[in-house]
Amino acid sequence: MTGPPATRHIPPFFEGIAMHAYRTHTCGELRKVHVGSRVRLSGWVNRRRDHGGLLFVDLRDHYGITQCVIEPEATAFATVDKARSEWVLTLTGTVVARTEDTINKDLPTGEVELRIEEASVQGMALELPLPVFGDLDYPEDVRLKYRFLDLRRERLHKNITLRSKVISSIRRRMIEQGFTEFQTPILTASSPEGARDFLVPSRIHPGKFYALPQAPQQFKQLIMVAGFDRYFQIAPCFRDEDARADRSPGEFYQLDLEMSFVTQDDVFAAVEPVLHGVFEEFSEGRSVSPAPFPRIPYDVSMLKYGVDKPDLRNPIIIADVSSVFDREDVVFKAFKGKTVRAIPAPGAATQPRSFFDKLNDWARTDMGAPGLGYVVFENEGGALAGKGPIAKFIPPAALAEMAAKADVKTGDALFFSADTKRDRAAALAGQARIRIGRELGLVKEGEFKFCWIVDFPMYEWNEDEKKIDFSHNPFSMPQFDREKFLALDPVDRATIEGIKAYQYDIVCNGIELSSGAIRNHDPDVMLKAFEIAGYAREETEQKFAGMLNAFRYGAPPHGGTAPGIDRIVMLIAGVENLREVTMFPMNQQAQDLMMNAPNEASLKQLRELHIRVVLPEAK
RNA sequence: GGGGGCGUAGCUCAGUUGGUUAGAGUGACGGCCUGUCACGCCGUAGGUCGCGGGUUCGAGCCCCGUCGCUCCCGCCA
Give me the pLDDT at residue A136, please.
77
Kindly provide the b/e burial profile for residues A142-158, where b requires at least 16 CB atoms within 10 angstroms of the residue's own CB: ebbbbbebbebbbebbe
Please give the nucleotide, over all strands, whose C1' is closest to the CA of residue A110: B37
For residue A409, what are the contacts with CB-CB under 8 A and spacing of at least 6?
Answer: A377, A403
Residue from A430, A446, A450 nearest A296 by CA: A450
Percent of chain A beyond pLDDT 90?
Answer: 68
Please check whether strand B approaches the CB of A199 to within 7 Å.
no
Kindly provide the b/e burial profile for residues A176-202, where b requires at least 16 CB atoms within 10 angstroms of the residue's own CB: ebebeebebeeebbebeeeeebbeebe
Distance CA A619 to C1' B55 in A: 28
- On the CB side of A148, CA atoms within 13 Å amount to 6
Give me the pLDDT at residue A148, please.
92
What average pLDDT does this structure show over A589-615? 90
List the single protein residue with the shortest CA to C1' distance from B12.
A136
**Residue A542: Cβ within 10 Å count:** 12
Please give the nucleotide, over all strands, whose C1' is closest to the CA of residue A237: B76
Please give the nucleotide, over all strands, whose C1' is closest to the CA of residue A216: B77
**How far apart (Å, rounded) are the C-alpha atoms in residues A64 and A51?**
23
A 6-25 residues, CB < 7 A, strand B = none
Helix (H/G/I), strand (E/B), else coil: A5? coil
* Cβ burial, residue A4 (10 Å; 0-12/13-18/19+): exposed
C-alpha distances (whole Å) from A248 to each of A138, A485, A564 are: 20, 38, 11
**Residue A205: Cβ within 10 Å count:** 10
What average pLDDT does this structure show over A77-92? 94
What average pLDDT does this structure show over A261-271? 97
| Cα–chain center distance at A88 | 35
For A32-71, write each residue's pLDDT tens digit: 999 999 999 999 999 999 998 899 999 999 999 999 999 9
**How far apart (Å, rounded) are the C-alpha atoms in residues A509 and A443?**
10
Distance CA A139 to C1' B23 in A: 22
* Strand B bases within 7 angstroms of protein beta carbons: 1, 10-13, 26-29, 32-40, 68-77
For A107-130, write each residue's pLDDT tens digit: 999 999 999 999 999 999 988 888
Give me the pLDDT at residue A364, please.
78
Please check whether strand B approaches the CB of A101 to within 7 Å.
yes
**∠ CA A552-A554-A559 to the nearest 5 degrees?**
100
Distance CA A145 to C1' B54 in A: 36
pLDDT, greater one: A609 or A12: A609
* Cβ burial, residue A167 (10 Å; 0-12/13-18/19+): middle
Report chain A's mean pLDDT, rounded to a whole number: 90
Looking at the predicted structure, is the pLDDT value of residue A159 above 50?
A: yes
Q: What is this model's ipTM?
A: 0.89
Distance CA A510 to C1' B19 in A: 53
Distance CA A32 to C1' B36 in A: 20
Looking at the predicted structure, is the pLDDT value of residue A465 above 80?
A: no
Residue A387's φ and ψ, nearest 5 degrees, are -125, 150
**∠ CA A221-A224-A227 to the nearest 5 degrees?**
155
A 269-298 residues, CB < 7 A, strand B = none
- Give the bridge partners for A57, in sequence order: A48, A68
pLDDT, greater one: A354 or A348: A348
Give me the pLDDT at residue A6, please.
47
Give me the pLDDT at residue A9, please.
52
A 46-75 residues, CB < 7 A, strand B = 47-54, 56, 58, 67, 69, 71
A 108-137 residues, CB < 7 A, strand B = 110, 113, 127-131, 134, 136-137
For A355-402, write each residue's pLDDT tens digit: 888 888 888 777 777 888 899 999 888 788 889 888 989 999 999 999
Please give the nucleotide, over all strands, whose C1' is closest to the CA of residue A515: B77
DSSP A233: E
**How far apart (Å, rounded) are the C-alpha atoms in residues A419 and A340?**
7
Looking at the predicted structure, is the pLDDT value of residue A194 above 70?
A: yes
For residue A289, what are the contacts with CB-CB under 8 A and spacing of at least 6?
Answer: A276, A448, A449, A450, A451
Give me the pLDDT at residue A253, please.
95
Give me the pLDDT at residue A4, please.
44
Please check whether strand B approaches the CB of A590 to within 7 Å.
no
Looking at the predicted structure, is the pLDDT value of residue A603 above 80?
A: yes
Give me the pLDDT at residue A619, please.
43
What average pLDDT does this structure show over A166-189? 96
Percent of chain A beyond pLDDT 70?
Answer: 96
A 214-273 residues, CB < 7 A, strand B = 214-215, 217, 239, 241-247
Residue from A544, A538, A522 nearest A194 by CA: A544
Which of left, alpha, beta for A379 (phi over 0: left; psi -120 to 50: alpha)?
Answer: beta
What average pLDDT does this structure show over A214-224? 93
Give me the pLDDT at residue A1, please.
43
Distance CA A138 to C1' B24 in A: 19
Please give the nucleotide, over all strands, whose C1' is closest to the CA of residue A217: B77
What average pLDDT does this structure show over A569-583? 92
For A433-452, write each residue's pLDDT tens digit: 998 998 888 988 899 999 99
- In contact, A456 and A472? CB cutoff 8 Å: yes
Residue from A588, A469, A579 nearest A529 by CA: A469
Distance CA A12 to C1' B39 in A: 35
Please check whether strand B approaches the CB of A545 to within 7 Å.
no
**How far apart (Å, rounded) are the C-alpha atoms in residues A289 and A291?**
6
A 500-529 residues, CB < 7 A, strand B = 515
| Dihedral over alpha carbons A166, A167, A172, A176 (to 10 degrees) | 90
**How far apart (Å, rounded) are the C-alpha atoms in residues A239 and A219?**
17
For residue A327, what are the contacts with CB-CB under 8 A and spacing of at least 6?
Answer: A398, A401
Helix (H/G/I), strand (E/B), else coil: A470? strand
What average pLDDT does this structure show over A234-262? 93
